Structure 1
């Protein structure tokens, strides 16, 4: 397979080619030449007026539902969704059936997703069967290929168990991912607790449910000197606590979802179940705080929280609808549309170098002789997001019909090439 990228602007801050307009010739997954003018009659040509190329993007929290819930998503459709959205690497959560809590489950994900348009990195469960009772064999999963550890969308509730988990992973310099939510406080909440939950007559989920877990786990991370990553943070106080912890030297990182950066609880005025997520959409002040945290570097990277739900899981009363929305295909366009003040170089850093550094992954090189791991995109393209742009088996996106900015054209992941039609 020969691919020729014509007149693309290179975004690779660590490369001497950064900021230059070049042609890039890729043969059988290897970058063969980077020059001002290249031609190859055998190559598939990608060209455009404002094309940029960077290292392939990485997502740190997505659900591919495989094994056990393949009617919502499977590894193949999830990989296609990732490549459509510009991602060449995706970390998948362990909330499958059975859970990714043993060596064979990790091997299943790795073997089924080899040599694909997106590299799939399994997150191993912290507890057996995600039950929050006893620790899973994390060391064995780490040796097999688990990139980090989390109970995914079932956050750890026990402080004692969290303490043991943080101590356990320190032996191999692992990272624990926590979605902060005290479920004893938020068990019956359907949306953010505030003026809109009162007006809509729905049980509220207070910001306190998130902030208590952030505070607790920061204390445990300080005590153990171990690595913790909070994903899906959604409140101003969470941001402030994490910023203070970083300044103190605690080994903490965090990620935020595109929907928490762009939508508020006011959007739930018509009880749209596509907007039912966890953590819930917060206030306009919280959204502003999250945006500022991204701009100032408190937020390390983005997490799509790609959570497919079939039609039946969303087309019900709000109370009974399942949490989550798909997000891989729309993430870049949403961030560019709703956070236009974020410098493009900083955005690309948060999609490429930052997540790989946090989770110990090799940084792709954009140079001759390197294995091609690239995303090709136009950061200024304005387009309307439709169901047709969703490659996932599920279509539960609140952005359908929205005007977005920044469009992905293609990805290259070694010998596998994906182009968006």
Structure 2
């Protein structure tokens, strides 16, 4: 029994209330529990449905020295996640049934891993993978990972193929002809720093193209990690027209802008890049009004050999799973916490066509427990990931996840 815990779940009859949640054999049996074999007093602590991440990379198989399924799963659990979708950029990429089965079978009891399979063979953007077979094996969506689906014909066919099975095609909206060899957002700051920048046009022109293809093909398209004001507006208009369009934003893009790159901290080099303050505010507005359906981690663990370099030579990416809740708290002054929680629970499940869960009697216990007041530091002692490339390294953070419950698996 979880005693005196404060519920944050817009779909729960106990939303904003303090309750005693009784769990038996992996199911919630009461919100007014009296006693149990094991009781945990959580007064002052909060609980929500289990968090879902739409975009993480564990580099397993192929580059397990950066992250493997075990370390990535531990990092996700410590960050509050009960479900994680993994992009197909492994070595080899996720392009076969055996690749999908490998990830699913290595999922620990406390974390459900959902493979996102590649759209094209070897991620080359030329020939479609066996999408129907991959879906039957357990792939929940299709994408090219951090690469865009640059081939318009390939995207058209992918949307047509997935129309009948009702799963999303995920697009990382970047025009590589515009974005090639860039290191940050193109603007005043990139000019002052002497770095080649990627203009907002790179994202916006891709979104416009893909929406037109979607009108013709049908299907479901999901735009991953929006960064620009224009991109948000194009998605908003497409939704108003009734098109099957969804999108997410990466957590760090709600926090950082091009100005944060000024110190040449390579942990702030990102794909897609951090944009302007105006763009960041547009992203916040998009989360608040529902244009942006979900918030993802964009977790990219990298070894120090990729990061301890000049900014223009360093690989983009940062770890973000374990610090996810602390990051949410930092933006809770701009976006109400119940909306933020919805964007990491119900929102991602709708996108991936997964059954919704809620905190109510008779429901499966998929829960995340967190303390908004706990102060901690991400360092070598607390870090669960194999990599250290976090912009919050050795920084005191407010807000910590205490544990998760995934059916009969309890890590509390």
TM-score strictly above 0.5:
yes
Q: Separation in 1 of the partners of 2:10 and 2:225?
A: 27
1:224 matched to 2:217? The reply is yes
The correspondence for 1:106, drawn from 89, 94, 100, is 100
Q: Separation in 2 of the partners of 1:233 and 1:7?
A: 38
Deviation at 1:195, TM superposition (A): 0.8
Q: Deviations over 1:64-106 (max 9, x none)?
A: 1111111011111111111101110000000001110111100
| Matched residue SS, 1:65 | coil
Matches within 5 A, 1:223-242: 223-242=216-235
Q: Separation in 2 of the partners of 1:159 and 1:178?
A: 12
Deviation at 1:34, TM superposition (A): 3.1
Match of 1:142 in 2: 135
Aligned length: 411
The correspondence for 1:88, drawn from 71, 78, 82, is 82
CA contact (8 A) 1:329 1:389 kept: no
Q: Separation in 1 of the partners of 2:303 and 2:255?
A: 24
1:22 matched to 2:19? The reply is yes
CA contact (8 A) 1:330 1:385 kept: no
Unaligned runs of 5+ in 2: none
The correspondence for 1:71, drawn from 65, 73, 77, is 65
Q: Separation in 1 of the partners of 2:306 and 2:407?
A: 36
The correspondence for 2:389, drawn from 385, 396, 410, is 396
CA contact (8 A) 1:382 1:403 kept: no
Deviation at 1:405, TM superposition (A): 4.1
Q: Deviations over 1:377-412 (max 9, x none)?
A: 13x325344224431111111122445443211101
Deviation at 1:362, TM superposition (A): 1.1
Q: Separation in 2 of the partners of 1:295 and 1:257?
A: 15
| Matched residue SS, 2:136 | helix
Q: Separation in 2 of the partners of 1:46 and 1:323?
A: 41
The correspondence for 1:6, drawn from 3, 6, 19, is 3
Q: Separation in 1 of the partners of 2:215 and 2:394?
A: 45
Unaligned runs of 5+ in 1: none
Matches within 5 A, 1:308-327: 308-327=301-320
Q: Separation in 2 of the partners of 1:121 and 1:111?
A: 11
Q: Deviations over 1:353-377 (max 9, x none)?
A: 1110111111224334443211111
Q: Deviations over 1:168-219 (max 9, x none)?
A: 1112112111111111111111111111111111111111111111111111
Compare 14-23 and 325-334 and name the one that shifted more: 14-23
TM-score with structure 2 length normalisation? Answer: 0.96
Deviation at 1:225, TM superposition (A): 2.1
1:366 matched to 2:359? The reply is yes
Distance 1:404 1:219, change over 3 A: farther
Match of 1:305 in 2: 298
CA contact (8 A) 2:296 2:344 kept: no
CA contact (8 A) 1:245 1:252 kept: yes
The correspondence for 1:288, drawn from 281, 284, 287, is 281
Q: Separation in 1 of the partners of 2:277 and 2:96?
A: 41
Distance 1:402 1:297, change over 3 A: farther
CA contact (8 A) 1:385 1:402 kept: yes
CA contact (8 A) 1:337 1:404 kept: no
The correspondence for 1:190, drawn from 183, 193, 209, is 183
Q: Separation in 1 of the partners of 2:52 and 2:306?
A: 28
TM-score with structure 1 length normalisation? Answer: 0.94
Q: Separation in 1 of the partners of 2:285 and 2:166?
A: 30
| Matched residue SS, 1:291 | helix
Cα RMSD between the aligned structures?
Answer: 1.6
Distance 1:296 1:370, change over 3 A: closer
Q: Separation in 1 of the partners of 2:29 and 2:212?
A: 49
| Matched residue SS, 1:254 | strand
